[in-house]
């Protein structure tokens, strides 16, 4: 029996949504779910009731707890949380060797400061990687809502991979800037936490707009300093993702900040990549260059209080808008 067309590692909401979209496009998808009980329930009920209730798994999606089955596919999507990526790769490096690995997680690895494709390169040297990122909510993808994403490939674009992963409602735009695509996707989560804090604290919509604008300047500044192209940050993986994540309560990062700003306890069960990303970036950052990111990290670590963070940001020296 021939293997799956696409393998997906990660049975969370986003991995499940991608599996649904790809199967609706006629692909055979092997979806690896780490928890055997969850995998069995998804296979029996044809639904990820815990993470994506109401979205029915098409016949072409086969959930399972055996990663080797997903690794039989020539293209494997990595949709596990960034902080878990290294462990999964180390445990299954041999099975994944020689596969086209498409990173779908966003963030920066705490401790190393590496982006997801750099983690892949560190664990599986010579792996052919790509990045799938951009403004998207799992529920929208699963329900066939029109969504546009960036597919960044290091070999200046891969039309075959684009065709393999695109569908009628899931439009993929090619880029060759994997660095910029990943930095945009990672850093916008930090700004989304800050945007949530602003609204949760009752500072208003105008303050959120200002925060998003200055946050985007931070993202662009850092990304260019690391060798990314500014044009990438102006696209779906940068500005587009920032707008979506900072303006909707569907965003886990935004909701997390909203709870912090309101003095409430955030949902401890949700994966909030922006928290670890803020700490990873702030660890060796210049607060004068990345004031919002550094302040989010300090606030979440309890080094400053909400009122102090607000006053420190508002008391920064006046400057030209650009830069």
Q: List the catalytic residues.
A: 188
> Per residue, what are the HEC states of 51-98?
CEEEEECCCCEEEECCHHHHCCCCEEEECCCHHHHHHHHHHCHHHHCC
- C-alpha span between 79 and 217 (Å, rounded): 28
Contact 102, 78 (CB under 8 A): yes
Structure-block tokens of residue 126: 């010579």
Of residues 133, 132, 106, the one with CA closest to residue 119? 106
SS3 of residue 148 by DSSP: strand
Q: Write the DSSP symbol of residue 201.
A: T
Query: Please, where are the H alpha helices in the chain?
Result: 13-24, 36-45, 67-70, 82-91, 93-96, 116-123, 138-142, 159-165, 178-200, 205-225, 230-233, 241-247, 252-261, 273-282, 291-300, 306-314
């Amino acid at each position: 029996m021939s293997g799956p067309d696409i393998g997906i590692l990660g049975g969370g909401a986003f991995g499940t949504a991608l599996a649904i979209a790809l199967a609706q496009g006629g692909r055979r998808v092997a979806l690896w779910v780490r928890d055997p009980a969850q995998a069995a329930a998804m296979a029996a009920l044809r639904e990820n009731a815990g993470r994506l209730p109401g979205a029915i798994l098409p016949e072409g999606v086969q959930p399972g707890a055996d990663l080797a089955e997903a690794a039989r596919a020539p293209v494997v999507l990595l949709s596990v949380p960034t902080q878990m990526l290294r462990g999964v790769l180390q445990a299954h490096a041999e099975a994944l060797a020689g596969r086209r690995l498409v990173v779908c997680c966003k963030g920066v690895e705490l401790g190393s400061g590496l982006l997801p494709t750099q983690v892949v390169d560190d664990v599986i040297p010579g792996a052919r990687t790509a990045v799938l990122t951009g403004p998207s909510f799992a529920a929208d993808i699963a329900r066939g809502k029109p969504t546009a994403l960036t597919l960044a490939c290091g070999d200046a674009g891969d039309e075959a991979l684009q065709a393999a992963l695109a569908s009628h409602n899931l439009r993929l735009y090619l880029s060759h800037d994997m660095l910029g695509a990943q930095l945009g996707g990672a850093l916008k989560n930090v700004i989304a936490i800050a945007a949530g804090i602003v609204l949760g604290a009752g500072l208003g919509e105008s303050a959120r707009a200002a925060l998003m604008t200055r946050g985007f300047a931070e993202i662009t500044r850092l990304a260019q300093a690391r060798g990314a192209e500014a044009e990438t940050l102006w696209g779906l993986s940068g500005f587009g993702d920032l707008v979506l994540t900072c303006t909707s309560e569907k965003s886990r990062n935004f909701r997390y900040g909203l709870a912090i700003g309101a003095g409430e306890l955030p949902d401890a069960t949700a994966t909030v990549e922006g928290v670890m990303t803020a700490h990873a970036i702030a660890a060796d950052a210049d607060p004068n260059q990345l004031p919002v990111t550094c302040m989010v990290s300090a606030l979440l670590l309890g080094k400053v209080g909400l009122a102090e963070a607000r006053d420190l940001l508002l008391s920064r020296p006046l400057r030209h808008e650009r830069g």
